[in-house]
Chain A
Amino acid sequence: GQNIDQPTEMTATEGAIVQINCTYQTSGFNGLFWYQQHAGEAPTFLSYNVLDGLEEKGRFSSFLSRSKGYSYLLLKELQMKDSASYLCAVSDYKLSFGAGTTVTVRA
């Protein structure tokens, strides 16, 4: 089975940086995805890590350590529109999601 943990909520100020951690214990692993989900909307793809290290994509970066079962999503230069739920998901033949981290960006 899959056990995926991430914090429930985080709050940050506009322009700041926030790091969302995700730890996982899984029976199978083919990569780790991060998705963003605004309230009432579908999840949208942010990043995919299959090898250890940092993947940077604009204001968003994602890190993976397979030996530690650990990933983080780094959001830089926060904007109000970044207020959303961020979902960590581990892939084998399917995606297994964590419960999501609700990020609130304040002015």
Chain B
Amino acid sequence: ETGVTQSPTHLIKTRGQQVTLRCSSQSGHNTVSWYQQALGQGPQFIFQYYREEENGRGNFPPRFSGLQFPNYSSELNVNALELDDSALYLCASSYGTPGEGGELFFGEGSRLTVL
């Protein structure tokens, strides 16, 4: 167990709705990143936060947004949900970024189904 916890574990939404996913980082970690994993695919980078500032973003539209709080917990918000947003959303925390050799510790993920 990595110490990264995510909630909720499963949820079902309908098209057009909004969703907020939450992540509690492992103690001592100052970087959190979010990934989207579609079935049968590898995780795709959404964005990364370091000390409450976004410091990198993948190829996702602005309706994907996030926050990192002073205690290094984080939220992922998705507005105007589309069917293709159905996926496993993984939160990962690290001390430093992967570019600095920081190992990512992943949570168990939040599985979102959009109907």
Roughly how many angstroms separate A4 CA and B43 CA in the complex, as a whole number?
12
Name 13 interchain pairs, CB-CB below 8 A, sorted by A: A31-B101, A33-B98, A42-B106, A43-B104, A50-B101, A93-B55, A94-B56, A94-B58, A94-B97, A96-B45, A97-B35, A97-B44, A100-B40
B30 within 8 Å of A (CB atoms): no
B107 within 8 Å of A (CB atoms): yes
Q: Are A94 and B98 in contact (CB under 8 A)?
A: yes
B90 within 8 Å of A (CB atoms): yes
Q: Are B106 and A98 in contact (CB under 8 A)?
A: no
Q: Are B103 and A45 in contact (CB under 8 A)?
A: yes
Chain A hits for B101, CB < 8 A: 30-31, 48, 50, 91
User: Known pairs A30-B100, A92-B99, A94-B99. 10 more at Cβ < 8 A?
Assistant: A30-B101, A33-B98, A33-B104, A41-B108, A87-B42, A93-B55, A93-B99, A94-B33, A95-B45, A99-B41
- B residues neighboring A (CB under 8 Å): 2, 4, 33, 35, 40-45, 48, 55-56, 58, 90, 97-101, 103-109
Q: Are B97 and A93 in contact (CB under 8 A)?
A: yes
> Which residues of chain A from 63 to 91 have a CB within 8 Å of any chain B CB?
87, 89, 91
Roughly how many angstroms separate A96 CA and B103 CA in the complex, as a whole number?
13
Chain A interface extent, by class: 20 to 34
Q: Are B99 and A44 in contact (CB under 8 A)?
A: no
Roughly how many angstroms separate A97 CA and B104 CA in the complex, as a whole number?
13
Chain A hits for B106, CB < 8 A: 42-44
Chain A hits for B98, CB < 8 A: 30-31, 33, 89, 91-95
Chain A hits for B4, CB < 8 A: 42
Roughly how many angstroms separate A89 CA and B92 CA in the complex, as a whole number?
14
Chain B hits for A44, CB < 8 A: 2, 106
Pick from A42, A50, A100: contact of B109, CB below 8 A: A42
Query: What is the distance, in angstroms, from A51's C-beta to the closest C-beta of chain B?
Result: 11
Roughly how many angstroms separate A41 CA and B33 CA in the complex, as a whole number?
17
